[in-house]
Amino acid sequence: MTAATLTHLQRLEAESIHILREVVAECERPVMLYSIGKDSAVMLHLARKAFFPAPPPFPLLHIDTTWKFKAMYAERDRVAAENGMTLIVHVNPQAQARGINPFDHGALHTDLWKTQGLKQALDHHGFDAAFGGARRDEEKSRAKERVFSFRTATHRWDPKNQRPELWNLYNARKAAGETIRVFPLSNWTELDVWQYIAREKIALVPLYFAAPRPTVERDGTLLMVDDDRFRLAPGERPVDRWVRFRTLGCYPLTGAVESRATTLDAIIDEMRVARTSERQGRAVDRDAGAASLERKKQEGYF
């Protein structure tokens, strides 16, 4: 039999499935972080394939900030109902009580809702491994992140004290209280993700496809006015523009790109000639200089 070269997507898929299965074999209480975005959609799809015909043997966890796009909440509830998987939604009660929001609180918004919220949920449920959809091509400090990334009992990440990962051998052993963040999509690029979504016909939040949406422009960033909590500046008025999103988060912090790409093929064609990275639209990475994301990761951000 002559060798049939596997496509790069087949290779990436097989390696991600291998990672998902290793965690389930070696950890006690895994959970999958589900953020409703395209990477989460791909990760969930891979989990279904990895354990078929059984359902994935772990719940989904959404760390909610109450500030996601309305369309994201609709998609989340649809996915949960369709899969029959347990969906845990965690809302940080302290952030809620203090009314933390992206307009008044800047970096505190991300810290309290997401970083602290995530730690609370992991501690409360006793999860010892959490799958996340981060990729090494996203950002410089992610390029050196391990597939299995260990956190102390206080959820801190020590970039100087990570385990070497040789071949596809993952050492999942850990002391009581320590947890692992596992990134099955480590070796995928943004283009791989889109190509895979097209190949596998994975459903996505409609926000990824271009449509006329009410937006305002601030400091060169297009923000969508998704509900009436959006604070308009005096004289500022939302304008309908054809936009889509390359990455999704809290709507007041997520920049749109002008686009007419209404299909996956059109998006992939735009990707091939894209000149800016997807994280460019995320204010969260840039709020404290070049090493901002690295610092957040040390503090426990995903």
Partner 1 sequence: MVAAPADIAADASWRDRDQGLLRFIACGSVDDGKSTLIGRLLHDTKALFEDQLADLAAESKAVGTQGEAIDFALLVDGLAAEREQGITIDVAYRFFATERRTFIVADAPGHEQYTRNMVTGASTADLAVILVDARKGVLTQTRRHSYLAQLLGIRQFVLAVNKMDLVDYDRATFDAIVADYRPFADGIGIGAVAALPISAFRGDTAVARSAAMPWYDGPTLIEHLEGVPLAADRDQARPFRLPVQGVSRPDLDFRGFAGLIAAGSVRPGDAVRVVPSGRTSTVARIVTADGDLDAAVAGQSVTLTLADAIDCSRGDVIAAAGDPPMAADQFEATVVWLAEEDLLPGRSYWLKLATQTVAATLQPPKYKVNVNTLDRLAARTLDLNAIGVATLATDRPLVFEPYADSRTLGGFILIDRLTNATVGAGMLNFALRRAQNVHRQPVEVGREVRAALKNQTPKVLWFTGISGAGKSTIANLVEKKLVRMNRHTFLLDGDNVRHGLNRDLGFTDADRIENIRRVGEVARLMADAGLIVITAFISPFRAERDLVRQMMAPGEFVEVHIDTPLADAERRDVKGLYAKARAGRLANFTGIDSPYEVPPAPEIRIDTTALDAEAAAERIVRYLIP
What is the binding site for partner 1 (CB under 8 A)?
1, 3-15, 17-18, 21-22, 24-25, 48-55, 136-137, 140-141, 143-144, 159-160, 162-169, 171, 173-175, 186-187, 189, 191-192, 195, 198-199, 263-265, 268, 274-277, 280, 290-291, 294-295
Q: Please answer whether residues 104 and 289 qualify as being in contact, where contact means their C-beta atoms are separated by less than 8 angstroms.
A: no
What the block records as the tokens of 48 is 């279904």
Please report the beta strands in the chain, taking only residues with DSSP state E, as ranges in sequence order: 30-33, 60-64, 87-91, 129-131, 148-151, 179-182, 211-218, 221-224, 239-244, 255-258
CA distance 296 to 203: 30
Q: Which is nearer to partner 1, 65 or 259 (CB)?
A: 259
Total residues found in the chain within this entry: 302
Residue 6 beta carbon to partner 1: minimum distance, rounded to whole angstroms: 5
Q: Which position has the token pair 């999704």?
A: 248
**Least CB distance to partner 1 at residue 227 (A):** 29
**Could you tell me the smallest distance in angstroms from the CB atom of residue 259 to partner 1?**
16
Query: Cβ closer to partner 1: 113 or 150?
Result: 150
Give the span between the Cα atoms of 28 and 129, in whole angstroms: 8
C-beta closer to partner 1: residue 40 or 195 = 195
Query: At closest approach, how far in Å is the CB of 175 from partner 1?
Result: 6
CB of 257 to partner 1, least distance (A): 12
Nearer to partner 1, 100 or 284 (CB): 284
* Minimum CB distance to partner 1 smaller for 90 or for 174: 174
Q: Write down the residue that tokens 């596809």 correspond to.
A: 168
Taking the complex as a whole, the smallest distance from the CB of residue 71 to partner 1 amounts, in Å, to 23
* Cα–Cα dist 206/248, whole Å: 11
Minimum separation from the CB atom of position 148 to partner 1 (A)? 10
Distance between CA atoms of 44 and 61, rounded to whole angstroms? 12
Nearest to 299 by CA among 89, 134, 35, 107: 107
Which are the contacts of 141, defined by CB distance < 8 A and separation ≥ 6? Answer: 159, 291, 293, 294, 297
The string of DSSP codes covering 35-58 is -SSHHHHHHHHHHHHHHTTSPPSS
Token readout for 180 is: 């692992």
Task: Report the residue number, 66 or 171, with the smaller CB distance to partner 1.
Answer: 171
Nearer to partner 1, 8 or 105 (CB): 8
Residue type, 82: E
